[in-house]
Amino acid sequence: MVNLQEPVETKLEKAVNSSDIAQEIYQLITELYPICRSITGDGFRKTLRILQQHIPLSVHEVPTGTEVFDWKVPKEWNIKDAYIKNSQGEKIVDFANLNLHVVNYSIPVHQKISLDELKSHLFTLPDYPDWVPYRTSYYKESWGFCLSHNQFLQLQDEEYEVCIDSSLEPGNLTYGEYFIPGASSEEVLISCHACHPSLCNDNLSGIAIAVFLAKRLSQTKNHYSYRFVFIPGTIGSITWLSVNEANVHRIKHGLVLTCLGDAGNFTYKKSRRGNTEIDEIVSYVLNNSGHNYKIIDFFPYGYDERQYCSPGFNLAVGCFMRSPHGSFPEYHTSADNLDFVKPQYLADSFAQCVSILHILDSNQVYVNQKPKCEPQLGKRGLYRSVGGQKDSGLNEMAILWVLNLADGDHTLLDIAKKSGMPFDDIKTAADRLSQTDLLKKEILQHKATTI
């Protein structure tokens, strides 16, 4: 746990940590919130159509029954309506008011049953009696309702009418993908699960931030190519990896984004390898963010990083979040709503992601072309800038550090960490030196950090 007393905010973070981006991200979450999503179905497709208004997603459909490693793509689930009526015909639980009221993937049912039988199909949260839980039944056919415990305690009639107007039939698993080509064919994967219904932090925060990251990257020149995937949790990443197995070797770095809108401290779950470039960069950014944060080791549970980091792929993919899953009481409940996530936290999370990807994309390796003693800077037009102009954008010590450590074995991040100087100062110095005969970019770029 680190608590820096004086935050170090880069110019880049200041540029993106604005009220405008905060409101734009929050507005997208607000638009997506009412939709009943699941791992398949029209709710997922509707979500992707909204995302297509922001970025040109390609939509892929994988048929039910398709073998994806040890799994099969399940039947497609859709729902139109659901309710519980009391003996007076009044709807006391109504899917139209809150889609969490139905156990996700419930099979269709319409019958009158006794209270005792109904109770075996009901789920509540006694410790939080006003909240409705989120429950699923993806791979075992059943049905059920979720309601507040206070609602449950009011059930007194001997008989109730239950109706779930749903379908579970052969169809497709849907996912969205957006590819931004860069100078290199090597790729950075940004992944988020888009299958949860009305849950803002665990689901929608990652989706919305990923969309605005994609919009930003589409407007810049990038070294890496970037691939954004919006998938159903677990089965979606398994399916994507199966369909794209021949090209997975192009993925050099990646992040799973989730739970980025609450007030909790930042948490980064490292890749399975634990010492990759993305792991080093996220640690560096958080260490210089001025925020409390935690870096945790990989463990084989959680979100889709566990599929990307499975031993057969072992990709350099970590998980970036604020409060981890299950660590806040609102997790998987109706309290994970539009009041739980805040625009300022979303904007802050977005800014940290921008910084991470900025450093990742800029973290080149260079070689000093005149390594024997310090070269003369004045005859290359660098002396005046270094010696007397504070606002020139150059830093004397940054230039000297770059020249000293540009030996083909150190990345710019290595130099920033070794020198204790901001990464952008080091990068600016390297960019300026590269315009002279003093510095050359190494052909073998983006080596692992060594310091």
Domains of the chain by start residue, with CATH? 11-73+172-362 (3.40.630.10), 76-169 (3.50.30.90), 365-441 (1.10.10.10)
pLDDT band at 18 (very low <50, low <70, confident <90, very high): low
C-alpha torsion sign, points 442, 189, 451, 220: positive
pLDDT of residue 448 exceeding 60, the answer is: no
pLDDT of residue 445: 46
pLDDT of residue 19 exceeding 80, the answer is: no
pLDDT band at 58 (very low <50, low <70, confident <90, very high): very high
Average pLDDT on 381-396 reads: 59
Pair of tokens at residue 213: 């990251």
Average pLDDT on 312-319 reads: 98
- 3-class state of residue 174 by DSSP: strand
β-bridge mates for residue 76, sequence order = 169
CA–CA separation, 23 and 20 (whole Å): 5
Average pLDDT on 231-241 reads: 98
pLDDT of residue 384: 55
pLDDT band at 443 (very low <50, low <70, confident <90, very high): low
pLDDT of residue 14: 53
CA–CA separation, 174 and 236 (whole Å): 8
pLDDT band at 449 (very low <50, low <70, confident <90, very high): very low
pLDDT of residue 382: 80
pLDDT of residue 4 exceeding 50, the answer is: no
Q: Residues 149-177: pLDDT tens digits?
A: 999 999 999 999 999 999 999 999 999 99
| 332 labelled ligand-binding | yes
| 202 labelled ligand-binding | yes
**E-state strands within 19-75:** 58-63, 67-68, 71-72
pLDDT of residue 16 exceeding 70, the answer is: no
pLDDT of residue 446: 45
**Could you give phi then psi for residue 115, rounded to 5 degrees?**
-60, -40
pLDDT of residue 393: 55
Q: Report the chain's mean pLDDT, rounded to a whole number.
A: 92
CA–CA separation, 27 and 208 (whole Å): 9
pLDDT band at 399 (very low <50, low <70, confident <90, very high): very high
| 60 labelled ligand-binding | no
Average pLDDT on 434-443 reads: 90
pTM of the model: 0.92
Q: Which helix (H) or strand (E) holds 91?
A: strand 91-94
Residue in 155, 142, 256, 152 with CA at minimum distance from that of residue 206: 256
Q: Residues 185-204: pLDDT tens digits?
A: 999 999 999 999 999 999 99
Residue in 335, 314, 331 with CA at minimum distance from that of residue 322: 331
pLDDT of residue 77: 98
Contacts of 443 (CB under 8 A, 6+ apart): none
Q: Residues 125-141: pLDDT tens digits?
A: 999 999 999 999 999 99
CA–CA separation, 138 and 6 (whole Å): 47
Average pLDDT on 98-110 reads: 98
pLDDT of residue 69 exceeding 90, the answer is: yes
Helix 412-419 vs helix 423-434: crossing angle, to nearest 10: 130
Which tops the pLDDT comparison, 449 or 428?
428
Percent of the chain with pLDDT over 90: 88
pLDDT of residue 292 exceeding 60, the answer is: yes
